[in-house]
Chain A
């Protein structure tokens, strides 16, 4: 046991503690903004702009009320003439001399984000898997050049082509459509998907498919039964990277969507304008916006870890 304590593979308790402390410090630094956003979302508007900032406060869901509703200012007499408030949101709105006029656009924008981000991720990963398999297993003419071409689409910031895409989309009638955004994000992500997945599929020995093909399966069936199950970690990791890009993308969304297909990122900042600096509502929107990625990442965290470290440890 004393030998193990000094071996290269087994870190000493002291070094473990130091490593742990560094990780905790880094985690705290990275998570403070997140906690601040979540905390702000539960503050009242006066608390959210209080100086010095309030670390201890009475939680309120006013921000969430404001996020999901639009409100109009009314006279005190009119508000007094109304029947008693039905719920907390009604009550808190009336205290600010306002009444709820109707639902806000946040929910449809959020649904747009879900459709566009998950739709484009599915398309990018689907196309990427097939292309990566092709490049990995077949003699594709000019394979290296094609792969380089695919990679080269990532060599400039996508926003550099914003103007041509804007004009193209206007001509094609794709502006402000979910389809247009899905196509755009798929096009940006597919190169990442091809390269990442090719790495994963290259590491799956061909013998497995050959065995399946001798066992009575066609190549496509062998791909589905033998290659896909073994590529799941790679596919999951790729899907997370694609999803994070499509989910967070702001510039194209702000440029190409304004109405029916608008996603959450360009919508959330517009909340600020409605009735003063409503930081709790913005924070509430951001908090809800974080949830899908958080859930998706937690569900696939093992694969993500493997995806980040892939290539580091093999065989």
Chain B
């Protein structure tokens, strides 16, 4: 296992700045998730680390060794792709054995057999080794893809939305398994996703990318509670954070320079209005089973928050809304007091 150090890395495609002056350190055995919308530069970052793209500037070090211009084969990294991850003309066994049979390794067949069996058990695909890889379900395919990454015991695992093509239930299962395997092996993982649940549940640290820049990096908790700016704040939390101008709701203390107030469920106290003094009205209640989405109208603004499953509120009820330690953002969208990460 080893670490990855990106310093000042940038990459341009035509006139698109895919990655801009990126500094990122992924420690040995750390699980770092890059989160961002399509086109934020997540996949390009992964491909740069893998050696599938050459950076236009900056340097990449893997395990202390300068890897900036090394061929992919020489970097000792494994890559799990979002799709097309298995060689369709090979069986499951041959897919798993493929990296071990590479001319760079030339591992004897009996040793390959043992390694493949071991990994197949780990990713629970042992019973399907003889199958054609095209005859597997989506979940099984991604298991094999993960197995193919594991089989060589590389120093770094790179994963590009490996679960995004699966249905929700499978995604949940494989998420747990992936985390279990990573913990078992103590593997260094750089993982790209746009799914905030994956990021929150698996990551040691989350890096938020936007337009090729690293906006913020920190533990899931820190990113959630202390977002650096509006972009990061909107990235995490379900339902999405409510953004409102100052003065929409009566707030206690607003720091100078505040332009926007961000309020998640835990920043709002909602109660039935009693003396005719209401801040807003319940617009709609979405029943999710274990909880409810509460849609509120305050003046001409809509707010969305969570409510208990047994909330007494009904559609049309007037309510009082109080802010409790919300997030404050200045005119540039940066969180006030959010300099620390």
Contact = CB atoms under 8 A, between A and B. Distances in A.
- Are A and B interaction partners? yes
Interface of A: 205, 207-208, 210-218, 221, 225-226, 229-230
A218 B103 CA distance: 9
B127 interface: no
Contact of A229 (B50, B89, B152): B89
B79 A211 contact: yes
Interface of B: 50-52, 71-73, 75, 77-79, 81, 83-85, 87-89, 98-99, 102-105, 148, 152
Contacts of A230: 88-89
A96 B72 CA distance: 77
A216 B73 contact: yes
Nearest to A207: B84
Contacts of A217: 73, 102-104
A210 B82 CA distance: 13
Given A211-B148, A214-B75, 13 more contacts: A207-B84, A207-B85, A208-B84, A210-B50, A211-B79, A213-B52, A214-B50, A214-B52, A214-B79, A215-B102, A215-B148, A216-B104, A218-B73
Contacts of B88: 230
Contacts of B99: 215-216
B73 A205 contact: no
A216 to B, nearest CB: 3
Contacts of A215: 73, 78, 98-99, 102, 148, 152
A208 B73 contact: no
A207 B82 CA distance: 9
Contacts of A218: 71, 73, 103
Contacts of A213: 52, 71-73
A211 B83 CA distance: 11
Nearest to B90: A229
Interface on chain B toward A: helix, strand, loop, or mixed SS? Answer: loop
Contact of A214 (B77, B83, B84, B87): B77
A231 B152 CA distance: 27
B84 A226 contact: no
A213 B102 CA distance: 9
A225 B89 CA distance: 10
Given A205-B84, A216-B105, A218-B73, A210 B52 contact: yes
B190 to A, nearest CB: 13
Pick from B72, B77, B78, B83 the residue with the most CB of A within 10 Å: B72
B93 to A, nearest CB: 15
A232 to B, nearest CB: 8
A205 B84 CA distance: 7
8 contacts: A208-B84, A211-B148, A214-B52, A215-B78, A215-B98, A215-B102, A217-B102, A229-B89
A214 B89 contact: no
A207 B103 contact: no
Nearest to B77: A214
